[in-house]
Amino acid sequence: MLLKKLGVLSALACLFLAAPAFANKPIVIKFSHVVAENTPKGQMANKFKALVEERLAGKVEVKVYPSSQLFGDKKVLQAMLLGDVQMAAPSLSKFKKYTKTLQLFDLPFLFKDMAAVDRFQQSASGQELLNSLSSKGLIGLGYLHNGMKQISASKILKVPADAHGLKFRIMSSDVLAAQFQAVGAAPLKKPFSEVFTLLQTKAIDGQENTWSNIYSKKFFEVQPYITESDHGVLDYMVVTSKQFWMSLPEDIRTVVKTSLDEAIALGNKVANEKAVSDKQKIVDSGRSEVITLTDAERTQWVEAMKPVWKQFEDQIGKELIDAAYNSNK
């Protein structure tokens, strides 16, 4: 009898001791992304972790998973809706399953530079697009820059005819597929994590990406030529699930959002710097030759690819395309 009583008492003591630990368990934010840590997105995610954990010490813990360690971009949004990951920042080209409107950002030669991209993203139309995933249970918390895309290949590309018959890896975007089809090339939708091997084994002839991604993922080591085309933008939307976001206590949500905004500002600064410094590192490596286009050659690419706008006008909306285009002025 005495033993039985002692057993009950020790079980109660265990519960009593465990309860406060359970009550104080920090909220965990898993942040999954596919790029290296020395990139705009990698640095933004790490800064976000540092700020949140400093300001909400013991209350919120941020676990960052770079380089597709947790999820690739194909699975991450589904995983977010299931509660297996709380934040991610896929490229704007990877939301097709959730909304057609964001295809806007893939239209070739829509933005003349990153300043125009930024003006549009900060405009009323750009900010409204952060809500375009709402009916699917996702919230856009902000945009993050990477930069303008360049085309790397196994041969010199100066005019669209040079790309004819070549296989290019693209992100999972129908607009990007149409863009390469418009120059007679064969687009292949493949995950970012597979690009290096596909290039190295010559299963594909080329790919399009930013200087930062070409450098950090070493694509320049297996691609002898990079055409400086600046033909499109690769930016991100930082997203979370509505369910997770609304479950956060308001004071915590405010600090998380402020910290994210600050981390994004740092990421954008890194993006601007890397567009210059990573290009220079590639040039200095001597592994890949950077091909500069003359105005006449560039015009040929614009003329070949621009009909893609019309092809996707119904899905994206003419007004939105006009608003984005007007940010070039």
Which residues of the chain form contacts with ligand SIN (CB under 6 A)? 34-35, 91, 146, 171, 192, 209, 213, 234
Q: Is 286 helix (H, G, I), strand (E, B) or coil?
A: coil
Closest approach, Cβ 25 to ligand SIN, in A, equals 31
Residue closer to ligand SIN by CB (options 222, 248) is 222
Buried b (16+ CB within 10 A) or exposed e, 144-160: bbbbbbbbbbbeebbbb
DSSP letter (8 states) at residue 91: B
Tokens of 87: 């934040």
Rounded Cα gap, residues 89 and 139, in angstroms: 11
In the bound state with ligand SIN, the residue whose beta carbon lies nearer, of 91 and 121, is: 91
Place of tokens 């669209």: 160
Residue 56 CB, shortest distance to ligand SIN, in Å, is 26
Cβ neighbourhood burial of 130 (10 Å; 0-12, 13-18, 19+): middle
- Smaller CB distance to ligand SIN: residue 35 or 133? 35
How many Cβ atoms are within 10 Å of 59's Cβ, its own excluded?
A: 16
Q: Shortest gap between Cβ of 123 and ligand SIN (angstroms)?
A: 23
Smaller CB separation from ligand SIN, 38 or 243: 38
Contact 146, 213 (CB under 8 A): yes
Pick between residue 60 and residue 147 the one whose CB is nearest to ligand SIN: 147
Q: How many helices (H) and strands (E) does the chain have?
A: 13, 11
Beta carbon of residue 311, minimum distance to ligand SIN (angstroms, whole number): 22
Q: Of 145 and 158, which has the nearer Cβ to ligand SIN? A: 145
Which residues lie below 8 Å from residue 105, measured CB to CB, with a gap of 6+? 92, 93, 117, 232, 233, 235
Return the residue nearest ligand SIN (CB atom): 192
Which amino acid is residue 206, in one-letter code? G
Q: What is the distance between the alpha carbons of residues 258 and 30, in angstroms, rounded to a whole number?
A: 18
Nearest distance in Å: CB 191, ligand SIN = 7
- Residue (234 or 293) nearer to ligand SIN, CB: 234
* Structural tokens at position 12: 């109660």
* Shortest Cβ 214–ligand SIN spacing (Å): 10
Least Å from the CB of residue 116 to ligand SIN: 20
CB of 171: closest distance to ligand SIN in angstroms?
Answer: 5
CA–CA separation, 313 and 321 (whole Å):
8
Which residues 6+ apart lie within 8 Å of 288 measured at CB?
152, 220, 221, 223, 224, 225, 226, 282
Task: Between 76 and 320, name the residue whose CB sits nearer to ligand SIN.
Answer: 76
Residue 142 sits at φ, ψ, to 5 deg, of 165, 165
